[in-house]
Structure 1
Amino acid sequence: MTLYQEYSVAAQTAFAGLDDAARQADLKRSVADLPGGFAKKVVSGRAYWYYQVKTPDGELRQSYVGPDDDATRALIQRHADPAAKLARQQLVRLGRAAVELGCADIPPKHARVIERLADAGLFSAGGILVGTHAFLAYQNILGVRWSAGAATLDLDFAHAGRNVSLALPENLKLDTRETIESLQMGFVPNQKRTSFKKTDEPDFDLDFLTSRGRGGDEPVTVPRLNLTMQPLRFMELSLQDPVRSTLLARSGPIVVNIPRPQRYALHKLLVYGERPQGQRTKARKDLAQAAALMDYLLLHDAIDIAQLWVDVNARGPGWRRRLGEGFEMMLTLYPDCDFKGRLDQALARVP
């Protein structure tokens, strides 16, 4: 029994090429790559350039670009450069071709939210896409299609909540709440402002998460992101050492941060027992995703998953107990996968 099917060589090659091109473009990304236009203003006798975008509700929003000098004019020229526009169009075509060959894409309404947050700088400031959308992204990274656990309606984002200054210049702040409001999609914040719910789609939520610290379950606010996050136990495992990858959407590729797959898999085992009784369906999905990833990783990256297994067990009795509970239930649900035997073999090879 296997919980995934491998992509064709053509699909794997298509995604690899797109991912490289999208990430290279993202490294060079600036305000000139965003939809909108430039406007020059004269203030106290000096000329300055602003970048302006019209929101869906018709409001014109401007952000400062720089003085009217050579560097700013070069940025403006880049925005008007036909070659740059052709390069962006080529990325869209490459993404659609990869989807046609069998790679996984994300729903347009989800892509719209993720892309807007990416444009606002959430991922550049250390934000991480977690939850099922990360699980979907692993399909393209690993070149496989999961047989279960891929259905999703909500979007989960996480941030470590600390050291934001390492990612953001001192004079820059991100307004995550305003960015969500600018979508004009009907998202309403909950009382704690850690989640945004869509009134006409009760299952389409935007959840913002972080690791649990000394403050317990008290929401964590990061003023420089204008964001409040809900702490969760064991979340730090997914937040450590994330990777960059590309999501496929009809509107074009979106480069995001996601957890490393082995960390995601073991985190799902850990949180299985944390789900309340009313979330048994989500708990089963946690195990389905962990099982699919471990089925792949124990064949292709067995040492990495075994080393992380040792690390997690060394973090204390609470970690060991939860990991063991999730693993035992996974064995019960997927008896034909021989997870225990394969993991034991990998653990025996850990230095």
Structure 2
Amino acid sequence: MADAQTGQVVSAMERAGVFRLGGTLVETQAFRLYGGELGFRIGFGSSAVTDDIDLASFERLSIALEDAVEEPLSKVFSQLKFAPVPSREKNKIWRWQQTDRTTLIEFLTPSFEENEGIRDLPALGVSAQSLHHLNFLIADPIQAPLLYRSGALVQIPRPERFAVHKLIVADRRRSDPSRLKARKDRKRSRDSTVGSA
């Protein structure tokens, strides 16, 4: 069951059409939903504790859909007391920080170029930070119920893709400041594949 904070935000995004338009929950919020998908309870120790809500979508899909969210996400987030976080690129907002808590919403998209710049997601009406290897993670997502009030149907990566992606990310984090995150990524990879075979 989702905590009230996450439940409010994700439910509001579902009502706006984020998941219908290709949005996929990734990172912690996806990891928390694998228990129902894999049929066992996942322990939520330090590897699952964060207030962040990360969503990813393909830029090309967002353009090809020629459709848009029911209500601008900037308005949805404003009603939930989130303020846009200024970006290095003018008028490219891809993160929102809650003004009275630490919750951070981030939008991501795969990078198919050498640099990982900011791209637009027209269907969602936001920009997104592009990242390498993200295309593998969010290809062919699955639907999962988010248990909060009347519930919300969301998209999450397949558990096996989540596991492999975490290993890729952990391998990229070889520097000392990233060792703790790399350890967390390897633990999530292991936890998201137990019972999926």
Q: TM-score, normalised by structure 1?
A: 0.50
The structure 2 residue matched to 1:124, chosen from 5, 8, 20, is 20
SS in 2 for 1:116: helix
Alignment of 1:176 with 2:73, yes or no, is yes
Alignment of 1:139 with 2:38, yes or no, is no
Alignment of 1:222 with 2:121, yes or no, is yes
Q: Aligned equivalents of 1:286 and 1:223: distance in 2?
A: 31
RMSD after superposition: 2.1
Report deviation, 1:245: 1.1
Q: Aligned equivalents of 2:162 and 2:33: distance in 1?
A: 12
Deviations 1:35-82 (A, max 9, x none): xxxxxxxxxxxxxxxxxxxxxxxxxxxxxxxxxxxxxxxxxxxxxxxx
- Structure 1: state its 5+ residue gaps: 1-104, 302-351
Contact 2:62–2:122 at 8 Å: present in 1 too?
no
Report deviation, 1:256: 0.4
Alignment-mate amino acid for residue 176 of structure 1:
L
SS in 1 for 2:113: coil
Report deviation, 1:232: 1.1
Q: How many pairs are equivalent?
A: 189
Alignment of 1:267 with 2:170, yes or no, is no
Q: Aligned equivalents of 1:190 and 1:118: distance in 2?
A: 25
Report deviation, 1:286: 1.2
Report deviation, 1:208: 0.7
Q: Aligned equivalents of 1:195 and 1:277: distance in 2?
A: 26
Contact 2:31–2:188 at 8 Å: present in 1 too?
yes
Deviations 1:72-103 (A, max 9, x none): xxxxxxxxxxxxxxxxxxxxxxxxxxxxxxxx
Alignment of 1:243 with 2:139, yes or no, is no
Which structure has the bigger radius of gyration? 1
Alignment-mate amino acid for residue 168 of structure 2:
L
User: Which structure shows the higher helix fraction?
Assistant: 1
Q: Aligned equivalents of 2:122 and 2:66: distance in 1?
A: 12
Aligned counterpart, 1:197: 97
SS in 2 for 1:162: helix
Contact 1:243–1:259 at 8 Å: present in 2 too?
yes
- Structure 2: state its 5+ residue gaps: none
Q: Aligned equivalents of 1:190 and 1:279: distance in 2?
A: 25
Report deviation, 1:277: 4.2
Q: TM-score, normalised by structure 2?
A: 0.86
Contact 2:110–2:132 at 8 Å: present in 1 too?
yes
